[in-house]
Structure 1
Amino acid sequence: MAKKIRVSKLLLILGIWLVLSANSYSNVFADFQTFQSDTNKVKSMFSDIEHLMDVGNFTTAYQKLDSVDLLSEQFDYEYGLAFSGVKRAEILLIKKQIDSALTSINKVIDQFPDSRLRFNFYNTQAAAYNYKGQSKQAIESFRKGLNFIELLPPSMRSRSIAAVHVNMAGAYHKLGDRSNTIKNYLEGLQFAESTKDSSFLTITLNNLGDTYNSYSEYERAEYYLKRAETIALQNNYKPDLLRIYLNLGNTFSNNEKYDEALKYYEQALALNKEVRPDTPPFQIIYNLGVLYSNKRQFTKAKDAFEESLQYCIELKITQGLYFNYKGLGDLYEKFTQPYTAISWYQKALDVATDLDQNLYIVQLHEKLYLTYKSVGETAQALKSLENFKALSDSIAKKESDAALSELESEIELNRQTEINRLLEEKQGIQERQLILTRNLNIAAVVVIVIILVLLYVVFRSGTDRKKVNLVLNKQKEELEELNQTKDKLFAIVAHDLRSPMASLQGILYMINSSELSLQEVKDLVISLEPTLQKNINTLDDLLAWARKQMSGISLNPQDIDTKPIIDDVISKQLYEIDAKNLTISNKIPGQTIACVDLNAFKLIIRNLLSNSIKFTQSNGSIEFDCTEGNGSVTFTIKDTGIGIPEDLHDSIFKDKSKTRLGTNMELGNGFGLSLCKEFAHRMNGEIYFESEENVGTTFFLTLPKSGQIKSNI
């Protein structure tokens, strides 16, 4: 009986424990269901907020974020709080409250260091830096964000990477880096077009069009902006359409099509009231100021600039301060109030310096130089000119150094590849030698006869080894010659091309930007021709040399009338001919047909003519003539120059030929005649000369009337 009571008690206790356990599990399950319900509610609220943002109702969207924060805090929903912080910063950016947006997103980054929204954090932070004009910080934040791209769902990664490239392009553009700007825009555009993503395509086309606006390439700008407008209208993308109208207005305004520009600005103002009712249209008003200034409507322009400036001061938009200060400076300078213009330019320069925007700073130093010069402030004008020149040269040098470094890297890679190939060949030879030695040792133990035979083989092997070493030494010498030629190429690029191109850049910039008289412009343009022709000739020779060294040259033989070709080459050297008062004549009859490659023939004639001009004194003469044989034509180029010294006769057609100064101290590149000889041989022809010092030189170029040219060098 007692045993039954104990069993009954045990069963009772067990039953109570099961009931309590069931209640406990029921509570946990209920809590889980509640959590799921709350998170779903938060996600639903996010959908509502994004819809409000899409339709431009940013004030209501911002207010609703407070409810999201409150609900997320109640059940410690970290994702909800982090997502709310991102959206809050985005709305502040749209409303142009840049400092508040940056403070907000920085707080979120510190508060949630392990969030799976870190890509969104840094992308929003970069956008804030972009608005503040801090392009370097923006690029750094974009790159940080890309480190967390794997946190995004796979379906979103490609689009997000493309979006970052587009945004980075904008930052690079503000730094004056055109190469990285266009490169990043085109990567974004390629993604958008391949995926048919109309929203992203609209944004990318709009940004690319705006970029070409800044480069004054208005035809390209209009093309991309019109494409963006068509897609935006088809899909009712109103916020994008607002930016497109503004940029199209800028395109037509800059291109002096003011009526069309005004139409787009008015459309942008109307759309701004609809999609951004809480954000003043300071950018549109600034651009209206530029338009009125160009139309010489002083009062309207001044009112527009001052209204836009006031908005930028209130919203703390630093870049807006720069543009409006500069706009007012340009306005007062245009209406001959130079001292007031200088005051506004100085304010703009202070802002540009704070923003570390080199292009803006260069423009303002030039503006200050011209304005100080107009009022006779010589010392201040000189100081501004020196600052302008120093910064312009610095920017040009960076671009030139980058291009030279890229070329050097490519050629060095080719050289290293060739060295590695030779090392592999040498290693293979050494391995074969080891195998041969081992076989000899084994054979020596077996029989004397075999030893004798193997000794003979060893002797032959030694002979082969010597031949291989001779080949290796020859290849080593060829590599050293190649390296010397490479150094020569760099010297030409660095000196003969970079210096004249830098001079050209300066002259063209002064023609485009400075207030020069018509006669001064004509004098500058006349001085451009010889420098430009010299650069073109040197580039042609460099291109032919580089192709010969790296990949070979394919020739395309055809029957051509040589007289007009030679006339064309002569016409492009007339400046140098006139400068020395030379008499030149082309006695080659019309319809003198030769079977040649057109470009190779031009290169030979141009180099031979350039040499004759270079080594002929003033008032001398140059004569082209020809004689025809059964299957060939021999062209002669005869001059009355200083001739070629006897000790140079054997070397002038070699790659390592030393250059001589011309009669007017002209320089040469040293490989023109070697190219002439190479091309003549490839066209089944030959080239030679006769020369007497202080009497003159005659070059003979014999080419076939018809025949097959070798295809490759």
Structure 2
Amino acid sequence: MIKRIVVYCIAAILILHFKAGARIGKSDAVNHADIDSLNERAYRQIHNNLAKTLLMLSDAEQLCIKTNYKKGLAVNYLYQAEVFNQRGYLKRAQLLYNHAIDLSRQNKDEYNIARAEEHLSSIQRNQGNLKEAGRLLYSSLNRLEKLNKPVDMVNIQQRIGVLKEKQKKHDEALKMYEASCVLAKKINYLYGEKKSYFDRAEMYADLNNTDSAIHYYNITLRIDTLTKDQFGKALSYIGLSNVYLKGGQLNKSISYANNAQLNADSVHAQNLLVEAIELLIKAYNQKEDLAGVTQWQQKLLQVERASSEANRNDAVLFVEVLKQQQEKQLAIQKQISEIQKESETKSVVLLCILVIMLIVVLLIFSVSYNYKKAKIYAADLNEKNRQINEHADSVDRLNEQILGQNTILEEDNNLKSTLLSIISHDLRHPLTNTKSIIELINLHLVSNQEAGHLYQHLEAQYNRAINLLDNLLYWIKSQVHDGKVEKTTINLYQILNSLVEEQKLSLQKKEILIFNKVDTDLEIYAENEVLKIIFRNLLSNAIKFTNSDGTIQFTSEMDGGNIRISIRDNGVGMNPNTLSRIQGLSHYTSRGTAGEDGSGLGLMLIRDLITKIDGSLTIESEQGEGSTFTIVLTNVTAPYYHFRRSSDQVV
């Protein structure tokens, strides 16, 4: 009777366990189609909005992990890798491609292994690892041949042709292009056929075989016209323009470049638009057509400014999405860990029940001997469980430490990438303008009077670049340097006058008056360069947002043992929303009253430096009435100083 009861209990436990597993499996099967749909919807908009794509893929990744859907997770990692590859995060992209390959091998998914190898080969080729790139491409091609995927095979053959061309094996490259063309025609894959012609045209153009290049570009152009592919037409026009420019046929080069910029603009292809405009500038420059050069240089500046603004906003949004993704990943890992612990607990409970039931049965037959035996086994089991729990806790702590380190490294890399992206663009503008102005002067295309104005403009561009570099260097120093600074006795009135002299050109241009009401004998004990950086940025900001014929004034005031220095302007001011954003964000910028650009580093640098010298910054502003920036400095009083109220001086 007792044996029968034990058997029934064990059977009931096993039935409940398998039913729970079946329910989980059924839930997973229902959700897999939704996960696949989410992955594909995210991938379809990868060329329009990378940040939104990454956010959707992050949601799909969490669903894959929760439901243990490995095939969907492999596809998800493949698409995420393409996002990071486009943003320039090559190491992370490679890691994700390899994860996708590992998961696909577990699922025996040869197609997604081939896709991942194809994308990895491009990264290896761009890094100069041509041998490894070739191995990956041929491996991918072999898999696709076995799976009978002719469209993908056409694309791989063309990639092999490009690789052969990069290795200077032009005959082998031509064979690959021809093979891909034959297969594309056979399956009526028009885009693949066109791509094979375009790649041949590019190769002949590099080899200066003008006639062959023009022939294949024209074939490509006819197919693009037939399929109404304006992006492809822009590429073909650019190729033709380049060929004619090298051959000195400037009118044809200009005609094709103009067609290229019109098609690129119609599909918002910014990179192709910039390339087409640069070709126009080169052609007009060779024709010595100053009006044409000036016209297209202005157009290029407009395009690059718009593209820079979009890239900056996209970079900030992408960083925010990365942070959200990391937070979600940490949350899901924590949830999975809790589920695993709960599952382990349930398993231990089931095991204990079985052991207890067995012990009860054994006790019936042998009360004395088996009781002692069971006691020893129970003690041994508890000790092993205790050791297992200790090891599990150690592993969890180690995983948390690793996740923390990874988070810090990701944040540092994201900060570096965002900062370099912003600085590289804002330095490129003055350097690009400087190059254009120098070319105009060297070509003697401007009068002496115009050259004088251009030299003044060069000086302004130079000052802006120097100030930007100063800001960058001191920002980096403030982030990584914790050593002691060298302080000295400084006359604040004289420092402010020297900074006003630096901005003399900008002040004269906007006809702004500056009143320096700081006490002429006020001396403070601080680091000279730090104060210059702080007040230079505040003065530059005030000039930027003050209208022509406006005024700016510096004032000082003793408040106990502290010194308050204020800079007030009667410029455009800020509404409450803008003021809140400036006080709350680490990076913010907008255009000045005369369209001046900014890097957004100034206020961020000021905050960091003021904090490091134990000071504080307050901002008061009203839209249409101007703004007041007040700095309170503590422990900066020199060992000796005298106050003498001077008359207001206009600088």
**Shared fold by TM > 0.5?**
no
Higher-RCO chain (CA-CA 8 Å, sequence separation at least 6): 2
Q: Computing the radius of gyration over CA atoms, which structure comes out larger, 1 or 2?
A: 1
TM-score by length of structure 1 reads 0.41
